Amino acid sequence: MPNVPGIRIALLSLLGACAPPRPVAPPPEASASPSPPRATDEGMWTFDNLPIEHLKRHYGFAPSPAWLEHVRLSAVRVGGASGSFVSPRGLVLTNHHVALGQIQKLSAPGRDYVRDGFLAATEAEELRCPDQELRVLVSMEDVTDRVVSAVDPAAPLDRQNRQRQAEIARIEKESSDRTRLASVVVTLYQGGQYVLHRYRTYTDVRLVFAPDLQAAFFGGDFDNFTYPRFCLDFALFRAYEDGRPARTEHYLRLRPAGPAEGDLVFVAGHPGHTNRLRTVAGLQYDRDVRLPASLDSLSRRRKALAAYAARGAEQARQVQGLRFGVENGVKATTGYLESLRNPAVFDRLARAEADLRTRIAARPDLAASTAGSFDRIAESLREAAARQTQSVHYPLGGSRLLGLAAQLVRYVAEIGKPNDARYEEFRDSNLDSLRHHLFSTEPIYPELEEFLLAGVLAEAREALGPGDPLVAAALDGDEPAAVARRLVAGTTLADPAARKALVEGGRAAVETSGDPMIAFARRLDPIWRELRDWHESRIQSVDMLEGRKIAAARFAIYGRNAYPDATGTLRLSFGRALGYSLGTTRVPWKTTFHGLLDRAASFDDRPPFDLPKPVAARRAEIDLGTPLDFVTTNDIIGGNSGSPVINRQGDCIGVIFDGNLPSLGWAYAYDDTAGRAVAVHAAAIREALRAIYRAPHLLEELGIP
């Protein structure tokens, strides 16, 4: 996720590395219920801790160590989402909507790859993406003992948090210096376990293929998070090393035969964030404070972007990707909120905590170790609620130019500090990735920048009042539109060379810069820092350190047989290709191209249900009985987009691109009664490349006849 100025209220991912490698110990796993469920396919499992006995008992199959290693080294993190290698020449399969940001950045007036799609006929025609990054998880190492032993339990919580962060920074740096791999310490089980992940990183990433938007997103926002679906939501990147296609020993073979209904399937991907182990106080905070505020902000942004798009065709093109992201966010956040407002769901989660607390109280040792922990977390969240409006509006998010200015101001200040005293994103282990994005060549549109900046400034003034410290510093008595116009017109930060010159010039260059956007960010930086520092010392420290005590109690009570909440890191889920009941009817496990044509015809070919032009042009060549999309019971969440669906043989039989509406509740509680993951079928990928987009060279590379 790109950095924006201000704070990130979500807990920061923790990075790091360690000295002598040792394998990841089987974690003491926690559960949100008295005993982890085993009758369902619930779970986003780490690769070192799968429920092997459950798989053997229910499916008669358990992945071998070689199978798991092959899948792990074939799985790819694509920005904040997922993908997989599908050829020995670095070809990466992901979703169109995951690739959308890069497709947008590669487009220009008169060259709309989002609307029209893109196909490179040769490797020489593949387009280098401005700032795409791919990561492959190479190794995992348990560093829990080292992180925990670096913290003085008698110190105040904010000091303990700084000690924890400093040790993580040291672990990161040691590993990245020694291995030259990106090194990330991942926090699992609310601080119950710390695991060092080492990644191979690719920053030369090129677009190979993308379908037209209508084929990828047929039905638009109406059909988003629904099923049945009729989308070709896939795209192909290629990873390069030293100017040549990367040689990828591990890759998944695409198998168009796909699954039969009821077949066991796996999903390997990077689920972003779940809250299944959150305390009841945290759930109440999400339900009553955080999610409503997020939904309000997203709804405002959706309305604003629609107004900008209405200015003209070029303006609409500029914000296609932004609008998709915001509309997706509105629908997803609405689903999360509705799940917490559902008494049955909330009561289930509350009963799980009540059971845990009863069991803790029955154990004097656990009662002593967690004394006051639940109350302190609740109190910290009351503090967070009191500053929620600032947390929403202080970042002034949306303007790329302001985001760059804020990063530059903070970069030169942080880089002069010891590595273990910096903000996380400025630690040595993260600098290559940070610079890759900081010097991106993505196009920046002044009219859009001015519109977005004026909008967030006006929203901040309305929400916080003109006397708020940030509003006063930002506007200085002027109008938001005038401030935005002056800043955008005067800045040179749209030029990557200007940004690079400021970085190379260091603190002196940034502090003396006359660029108005840099000066604006310098003025606001102390206010942003105060809120972030407050959050880390008053909210994050309590959540992490008291949460660890509760996690330890869970471990002692429930044992080692559950999975951690999603953290944006590689996980494996298992499930079945399976339809479901809805009301009094049955929903089929798969759709076909016949269904696509029927749905378009049923809406008289009116947008957003109009038949994609390439499909209409070549419908006579398409085998309309080919499976198009399908559903599974695999446990997924946002971030799993682009994840390969894998069969027992370790072949790719589809790619996850969505979940249906009931699956949105999985952020808090899994239920496969009607909740389903939605995937593009491998047969649809073959049919699209064969009949619709005529890419025989890609079929040959994929090994598909």
Q: What is the pLDDT of residues 592-633, one digit of tens each?
A: 999 999 999 999 999 999 999 999 999 999 999 999 999 999
Average pLDDT, the chain: 94
Using CA atoms, how far apart are residues 370 and 665, in angstroms rounded to an integer?
A: 29
pLDDT at 562 (0 to 100): 81
pLDDT at 626 (0 to 100): 99
pLDDT at 53 (0 to 100): 93
Tell which residue, 681, 666, 682, has the closest CA to residue 271.
666
pLDDT at 582 over 90: yes
Alpha helices, DSSP H, located in 180-239: 213-216, 220-223
Using CA atoms, how far apart are residues 207 and 99, in angstroms rounded to an integer?
A: 8
pTM of the entire structure? 0.92
Task: Indicate the length of the chain as a whole number.
Answer: 705
**Residue 453, burial from CB neighbour count under 10 angstroms (0-12, 13-18, 19+):** buried
Provide the strand spans (E) within 5-111.
75-78, 81-85, 91-94
Per-residue confidence at 521, pLDDT binned at 50, 70, 90? very high
pLDDT at 27 over 50: no
Q: Are strands 585-587 and 193-202 parallel, antiparallel or unpaired?
A: unpaired
pLDDT at 611 (0 to 100): 98
Q: What pLDDT digit, counting tens, does each position of 253-312 carry?
A: 999 999 999 999 999 999 999 999 999 999 999 999 999 999 999 999 999 999 999 999
Contact 76, 411 (CB under 8 A): no
Q: What pLDDT digit, counting tens, does each position of 349-399 carry?
A: 999 999 999 999 999 999 999 999 999 999 999 999 999 999 999 999 999
Tell which residue, 440, 448, 432, has the closest CA to residue 496.
440
How large a percentage of the chain has pLDDT more than 70? 94
Per-residue confidence at 559, pLDDT binned at 50, 70, 90? confident
Tell which residue, 276, 296, 292, has the closest CA to residue 345.
276
Using CA atoms, how far apart are residues 543 and 555, in angstroms rounded to an integer?
A: 17
pLDDT at 561 over 80: no
Using CA atoms, how far apart are residues 344 and 669, in angstroms rounded to an integer?
A: 11
Q: How many C-beta neighbours within 10 Å does residue 347 have?
A: 11
Which token pair is 492?
């040179």
Tell which residue, 682, 665, 643, has the closest CA to residue 80.
643
Per-residue confidence at 39, pLDDT binned at 50, 70, 90? low
Q: What pLDDT digit, counting tens, does each position of 87-137 carry?
A: 999 999 999 999 999 999 999 999 999 999 999 999 999 999 999 999 999
Per-residue confidence at 25, pLDDT binned at 50, 70, 90? very low
Per-residue confidence at 67, pLDDT binned at 50, 70, 90? very high
Measured CA distances, 258 to 93, 261, 442 (Å) = 16, 10, 37
Tell which residue, 341, 332, 298, has the closest CA to residue 659.
332
pLDDT at 40 (0 to 100): 77
Alpha helices, DSSP H, located in 439-535: 446-464, 469-475, 480-490, 496-512, 516-534
Q: What pLDDT digit, counting tens, does each position of 197-255 carry?
A: 999 999 999 999 999 999 999 999 999 999 999 999 999 999 999 999 999 999 999 99
Using CA atoms, how far apart are residues 191 and 567, in angstroms rounded to an integer?
A: 12
Using CA atoms, how far apart are residues 147 and 171, in angstroms rounded to an integer?
A: 9
How large a percentage of the chain has pLDDT more than 90? 93
